[in-house]
């Protein structure tokens, strides 16, 4: 049974990768991401998922997309969620919301709530181009734990100095942020 599950996962991943190419990866060329919506009143920099560098507080950025067995990507503001094939057993609606682009905080939600436990981890990726290299080099993803009322480090957080991103595997959705030195990043 385990071998069959592994083969099914590998086949699903191969189909997804061949169908999607690199168009939905966080390192894709700058441009609109297919299937990602943005607020109708959002500026073009929000639609592209880029920080405009002005330092001003922007309108909240939210995207919602329905994802199924083959996975997919949902992006809003400086954050993208990549759902691999096989992470969900049924269709679910995923919402990614960054309330303020000048703060590295994102709210992730999924409907129905029963889908908020993945069979495979999904990947949360933050575009951290606005961080100084010294802060980025020690950055990590944190999540707000409502049971303790504290921010906690997400295990498996990684920094890419090449692509200027911070990423972490997630087993459930919650509120997350980029941290550096125990404080919110940029």
Structure tokens at 6: 């592994």
As to burial, measured by CB atoms within 10 angstroms (0-12 exposed, 13-18 middle, 19+ buried), residue 39 is middle
| pLDDT tens-digit series, residues 153-174 | 999 999 999 999 999 999 999 9
Taking the domains of the chain in order of start, what are their residue ranges? 2-184
| pLDDT tens-digit series, residues 83-100 | 999 999 999 999 999 999
Average pLDDT over residues 45-60: 43
- What's the Cα-to-Cα distance from 31 to each of 26, 50, 175, rounded to whole Å? 11, 10, 26
CB 139 within 8 A of CB 131: yes
What is the CATH class of 2-184?
A: mainly beta
Average pLDDT over residues 62-71: 97
- What's the Cα-to-Cα distance from 79 to each of 10, 107, 141, 152, 181, rounded to whole Å? 26, 10, 11, 18, 20
pTM score, whole prediction: 0.69
């Amino acid at each position: 049974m385990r071998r069959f599950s592994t083969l099914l996962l590998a086949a699903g991943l191969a189909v997804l990768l061949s169908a999607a190419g690199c168009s939905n990866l966080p390192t894709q060329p700058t441009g609109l991401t297919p299937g990602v919506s943005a607020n109708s009143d959002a500026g073009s920099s929000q639609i592209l998922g880029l920080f405009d560098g002005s330092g001003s507080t922007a309108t909240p950025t939210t995207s919602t997309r329905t994802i199924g067995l083959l996975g997919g990507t949902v992006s809003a503001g400086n954050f993208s969620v990549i759902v691999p094939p096989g992470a969900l057993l049924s269709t679910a609606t995923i919402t990614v919301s960054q309330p303020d682009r000048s703060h590295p905080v994102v709210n992730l939600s999924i409907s129905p709530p029963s889908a908020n436990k993945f069979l495979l981890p999904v990947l949360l990726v933050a575009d951290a181009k606005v961080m100084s290299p010294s802060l980025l080099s020690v950055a990590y993803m944190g999540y707000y734990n409502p049971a303790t009322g504290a921010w906690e480090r997400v295990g498996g957080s990684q920094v890419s100095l090449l692509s200027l991103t911070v990423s972490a595997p997630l087993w459930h959705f919650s509120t997350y942020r980029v941290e550096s030195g125990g404080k919110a990043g940029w």
